[in-house]
Structure formats: C-alpha cells, structure tokens
Amino acid sequence: MKEKSIDPASRIQDLENFGEFGGVNPSVTDSATYTFMHAKTMLETFQGEAEGCFLYSRHWNPSNKYLADAMAAMEGTEAAWVTASGMGAISNAIMQICQAGDHIVSSVTTYGGTFALMKNYLPKFNIETRFVRITDLEAVEKAIQPNTKMIYTESVTNPLLEVSDLPKLSEIARKHNVKLVVDNTFTPMIIEPRKLGADVVVYSLTKFVNGKNDCVAGAICGDVDFISSLIDVNEGTSMLLGPVLDPLRSSQILKNLHTLHIRMKQHSENAMYLADKLSGLGLKIVYPGLTGHPGHELMKKQMNTGFGYGGMLTLDVNSAERAAELMECLELKGVGYLAVSLGYFKTLFSNSGKSTSSEVPEEIQKEMGMSEGLIRFSVGLDHNIKRTFKLFKNCLEDLEFL
C-alpha cells in the first residue's frame, strides 16, 4: 500500500493517469457527446445515478476530469470542477451558493473583476454584498446579516497583499452557518485554504497553475456534494450556464501542474530577493515574506514550508505618472513586461488602480489604502535575479527615484 502524501506537490505526483494506449500522459478526449450501449444507463446518467459515465462535455469529459482530480488532490478536497476562466469559477461558485435575496460579506481588497461582479452585477439578481477590511475580524462578523450566505476572500489579497486569517474566518463562518469561499490564485501550494477551514476554493488557472499565459481557465474545489450540485442537469449553475473548459487546454494545464512546485519555489525566491533589495533602498515595498509586513507571522503560521512566500510584491511610487514612467523604463531595460495578469515565467507589472483594480471606484481605492502609484509585480522565473535587480536599480537611478 502506498503511503499517503500530506503535501500538495506529492499528492499531485501520486496521481497515475495513463493514456488509453498506455501513454504516460492521459489521452485527450475531443468528443462533445458520448455513446451508451444501454438506454437505461443514459437515463441513470441524466439522473446523476451512474458512476464513471460521460454524457456531454458541458457536463463532464475525461480530459477535464483528469485536471479536476489533480486540482482536488492539490487542494485536499473531495472533488473539483474546471471552468473556461477564473471568473467562470468565481461566479459559478457564488451563484450556486446564493439565491435572490441573499447577502455576501467580502473583502474589499479583491480582484477588480470579482469586485465588479459583486458590486455591479449580482444586484441584478437581488444579491447584495457588504465589503469590509478582511483583516478586521470584528468588522467581518458585524457585517453578517440573517440572510448572509457567504464570506468571500483571497488567501493573499489582490493587490494589497493582505493575509487573510483563514482559520479565524472559518470560525466566524461556522458560528453563523455561512460558507467560506477563498480565492487561492496567488498562493497555490503555499497555502491550502481547505485545510485551514474554507468550504470552497476557487482559482484562476490562467495564472501560476498553468504558468505560461497561453490560455484562460479556472477551477472550483470543494466537497462531492457541492461539486455535484454545480453540474446537476436541472439546477447546476455550471451545467446550465456552460463555462466548460476545452479538453485540449485541460490536457496542457494538467502537464504544467506537475511543475508547479518547482516554479512556485523559484517565483518566491526571486520575489524575496527583489523585495529585500528594493526595500533596502528605502522604497515602499509590500511583500509577505518581509518581517515588516503586518501579516508576516500569520503567513508563516498558515503556509506550507518549502514553497516560499509567493511571487507577488508591490512597489508604491506615489503617483500614476511616476508609475507609468518607471514601468516603461523597466520594460525597455528588460526587467519584464508592462502587462496585466500574473504567474508568467517573465516578470509582469502594472499600475493596479489603472488596470486590474480599475473596476474599484477611486474613492474606495483610497479608503482601502491603495495608492494611485501602486505597481503590482508578478516576479518571473529569472535564472539570474541579481542581474534583474541591477537592471531595476538602473531604472530607479536614471529616473532619480533614489
């Protein structure tokens, strides 16, 4: 009998999925529909009573199930389902839990698309959201109403890099009989939200998990009952709204998932080096790995050892004009690309308030402490990070930031 692995990387390594002809990679299934030898089996599949049967690719297909099983293994959940985007995962999870008249308590510091979904779109269905500082646990609990169904947060928030206290948030959720939903896109393998009390974990697989910025995908991880409810043919949000991931993309992401542990270590190592060196120059750097970060000790307590503190850091240069000036120089010097998204093998950077958080009104950006000069960096897999720092410093000196 094989020893059960406790770390996420080993749980993925323990998976054995062969191709139909013995290939070391699972076969890619490009069928939209699947045949049955007996009509009774088709009926049972429609009713959710048949095991191991595939009906229609919007519901399940083998390639997507391989990836979903691997995500569930990584997250330590009973099951998972993959979607055509991260927003597909977030919106489907929320709309499966909430109905008209329900209420959500969410971190105000969250991805701009998520903020816009909750603030602007869900009210069309009479679902309201109260936004709070997720690090203020008293405020979180006070915001809960009788019709609250969910507490929503990110393990490490986008873009301010606040660390959510997931065990404490889980306690509050249990006390009030609400679900804790956690977006773990920034910290795969580093943090395991399910182990810390989350009910549902969502991902944009586009980012670190895939790591190549060549596709868009998402995942929802949870218990069997919740995932089954998502794809119920009569009431399942994912089945009825149809955000299915293409099987070929699933196959590609699954292969990339097997190198995630190596990549996260390198992203983290490089980000830690830059954060330490740049803060040493007197710049306003936020990175959970720095001892001066307010959530540093909490991060240490919650994280899996060996993967580092993640690949995300921020630099505040006070104004959007200065941010634009610096980012243009960094791209010209070869530090990375002025681009949105994250988790790529090259460093990506953007001015959060004017890009990935632009859906958040400026007055709320100011309330949450987001400077108009905040630059979010997704640090790449640079082999020689010392060279990268020198190029970065050259820009700072040329522009008289130092």
Print the domain residue range for 314: 261-398
Residue 298 pLDDT > 60: yes
The per-residue pLDDT of the chain, averaged, comes to 94
Least confidently predicted of 44-48, 76-80, 141-145, 318-322: 44-48
Task: Write down the pLDDT at residue 359.
Answer: 81
* CATH code for the domain in which residue 206 is found: 3.40.640.10
Task: Write down the pLDDT at residue 50.
Answer: 73
Residue 293 pLDDT > 50: yes
Q: What is the pLDDT of residues 117-128, one digit of tens each?
A: 999 999 999 999
Q: What is the pLDDT of residues 165-189, one digit of tens each?
A: 999 999 999 999 999 999 999 999 9
Contact 328/295 with Cβ under 8 angstroms? no
Q: Is 100 left (phi over 0), alpha (psi -120 to 50) or beta?
A: beta
Tally of CB atoms within 10 A around 6: 10
Residue 89 lies in a domain: yes
Same domain, 323 and 243: no
Task: Write down the pLDDT at residue 1.
Answer: 47
Task: Write down the pLDDT at residue 4.
Answer: 62
Vertex 294: Cα angle to 311 and 182 (nearest 5): 60
Residue 1 lies in a domain: no
* CATH code for the domain in which residue 340 is found: 3.90.1150.10
Q: Which of 285, 281, 256, 276 is nearest to 345 (CA)?
A: 256
Residue 129 pLDDT > 80: yes
Q: What is the pLDDT of residues 372-400, one digit of tens each?
A: 999 999 999 999 999 999 999 999 999 99
Structural domain ending residue among the three candidates 257, 286, 321 = 257
Extract the tokens encoding 74.
Answer: 């990584």
Task: Write down the pLDDT at residue 211.
Answer: 98
Residue 71 lies in a domain: yes
Structural domain ending residue among the three candidates 235, 257, 279 = 257
Same domain, 218 and 300: no
Cis upstream peptide for 159 (omega within 30°):
yes
Q: What is the pLDDT of residues 19-75, one digit of tens each?
A: 877 888 888 988 998 888 889 888 888 777 777 778 888 888 999 999 999 999 999
Structural domain ending residue among the three candidates 257, 280, 315 = 257
Quote the percentage of the chain above a pLDDT of 70.
99
Task: Write down the pLDDT at residue 188.
Answer: 98
Extract the tokens encoding 153.
Answer: 């947060």
Same domain, 172 and 282: no
Same domain, 190 and 324: no
Same domain, 158 and 227: yes
Quote the percentage of the chain above a pLDDT of 90.
82
What is the spatial order of strands in the sheet that 347-351 belongs to? 284-286, 312-316, 374-378, 347-351, 336-338
Q: What is the pLDDT of residues 194-242, one digit of tens each?
A: 999 999 999 999 999 999 999 999 999 999 999 999 999 899 999 999 9
Task: Write down the pLDDT at residue 2.
Answer: 55
Q: At what angle do helices 260-280 and 385-398 cross, to 10 degrees?
A: 40
Same domain, 289 and 341: yes
Total structural domains within the chain: 2
Task: Write down the pLDDT at residue 311.
Answer: 98
Residue 23 lies in a domain: yes
